[in-house]
Amino acid sequence: MSPKKNGTKSAGEFFRKLRPLLESSDQPMYVYLDDDRRVCNKKFASLLGYKSAREWSSVKGSFPMVFVDGASRHTLVSAYRSSVGEKTGSSIRVTWNTKNNKKVKTNVIMVPVTYKKMTFALHFVSKM
């Protein structure tokens, strides 16, 4: 099995383990490994104007370019790199682009979690 396919399988396993947390959280949240391997809960999908988490996760393209306002991209990407590279958490402000081209200002708490040698970033989101 190729490393990418093996990583996709492991990411899927990890996402399944997190399902109870995603479904029971009172706040919007998402888990990110890369543009192709990410999941969210219904609250986060709704915050960005999507009908379901599945609809949100099916959107293709660069995550920061599609979902994050230009003024917040550097902040989010830098925090993500620190999270997965240095295993540090952070609290940042992010403005999101919704499906309907509106802006949503939020506070984001990002937490790194390692599973089978892959480091994911859990994001807990609160609307400002």
Q: Which two tokens stand for residue 112?
A: 């790194």
pLDDT in tens, 38-78: 999 999 999 999 999 999 999 999 999 999 999 999 999 99
> Dihedrals φ, ψ of 75, to 5°?
-60, -50
Helices (H), 1-128: 3-24, 42-47, 53-57, 63-67, 70-86
Tell me which DSSP letter residue 68 carries. Answer: B
Domain count across the chain: 1
User: Is residue 5 exposed (0-12), middle (13-18) or buried (19+ Cβ within 10 Å)?
Assistant: exposed
Report the CATH number at residue 95.
3.30.450.20
**Which pLDDT score is estimated for 8?**
65
CA–CA distance, 108 with 111 (Å, rounded to integer): 10
CA–CA distance, 59 with 66 (Å, rounded to integer): 8
Tell me which DSSP letter residue 35 carries. Answer: T
Token pair 């009172």 in the structure block, residue: 26
**Where residue 6 falls among pLDDT bands split at 50, 70, 90?**
very low
* Biggest CA-to-CA distance, the chain: 44
Full domain range(s) for residue 58: 3-127
> Looking at the predicted structure, is the pLDDT value of residue 3 above 90?
no
